[in-house]
Amino acid sequence: MNSSVPIKLKAEGIKKYFYTHEGQIVRAVENITLEVREGEFIALLGPSGCGKSTFLYMVAGFELSTEGELYLDGDPITGPSPNRGIVFQEYVLFPWRTVRKNIEFGLEIQGADKVSRAERSGELIGLVGLKGFEDAYPHTLSGGMQQRVAIARALAYDPSVLLMDEPFGALDAQTRRRLINDLVKIHEATHKTTMFVTHSVEEAIGLSDRIFLFSCRPSSIKEVIEVTIPRPRELTSDDFIELQRTILRSLNEEVEKIVIGPCPF
């Protein structure tokens, strides 16, 4: 991305330690330093349990770092805020509220009037492809449709940054690929700075401007991969497959460390 684009998110020397009931220290994140520019789509990719979601929750303000600083637009992140919208792997929708009412929930909390809520939810329902399902309840929707509702709800109050924690992890391959394409379109329409946690190399390449590859735990950034393949990205193209192979080799090196044992826990 052009270096003249302002820095949106910044992490400096982030460490996160936990303690077991026995008092043993667990070093989850050892040293994360990175910058994310305005409008970038960033993927956090790494072995299972390497601290990707932990780092995302620190950016969200749900967790505090043991050491280091996190900044959004130059201001320290000290806790949750509406300027960071988050989408979880589980849809966590209110079953007693319709699609429209689920999307409007955050706006209600903020005190937005009924007309502005309806206008905003209607706009987002169109954006995420749920037109015609405004009055449907979550139990009548497929998993992919429920996750569209969750994405729209996170965007409803126009957060500065969108955080996504493996949002397609529970979906079948066909639905996941369709949502990857749809999320690309949503990103192009909103230009939201987005941080996306995933275990899937395919998702990371399909969506991202850059991929931050995490090492095994305690995690640091092993490498940063620029994804220069033009959008829309065809997952069967030679460029896609070659990049996928390169990333998988590097990722597998970290997975093997966990299996063999030198990566400390």
Residue 264: the pLDDT is: 42
Residue 218: the pLDDT is: 85
Residue 262: the pLDDT is: 44
Outline which parts of the chain fall under CATH 3.40.50.300: 7-83+161-260
What gap in Å lies between CA 223 and CA 220, rounded to an integer? 9
> CB-hemisphere CA count at 13 Å for 124?
24
What's the CATH code, domain 7-83+161-260? 3.40.50.300
State the alpha helices, DSSP H only, in 36-113. Answer: 52-60, 99-110
Strand blocks (E) in 78-153? 84-87
Residue 265: the pLDDT is: 38
Residue 156, class by beta-carbon neighbours within 10 Å (0-12 exposed, 13-18 middle, 19+ buried)?
buried
Residue 93: the pLDDT is: 93
Cβ distance 58 to 50 under 8 Å?
Answer: no
Residue 250: the pLDDT is: 94
Cβ neighbours of 251 (radius 10 Å): 19
Residue 232: the pLDDT is: 86
86 secondary structure, DSSP code: E
Strand blocks (E) in 59-202? 67-72, 75-76, 84-87, 161-165, 193-198
Task: Mark the ranges of the chain whose per-residue pLDDT is less than 50.
Answer: 261-265
User: What pTM was computed for the model?
Assistant: 0.92
Mean pLDDT of the chain: 91
Residue 242: the pLDDT is: 96
Residue 2: the pLDDT is: 65
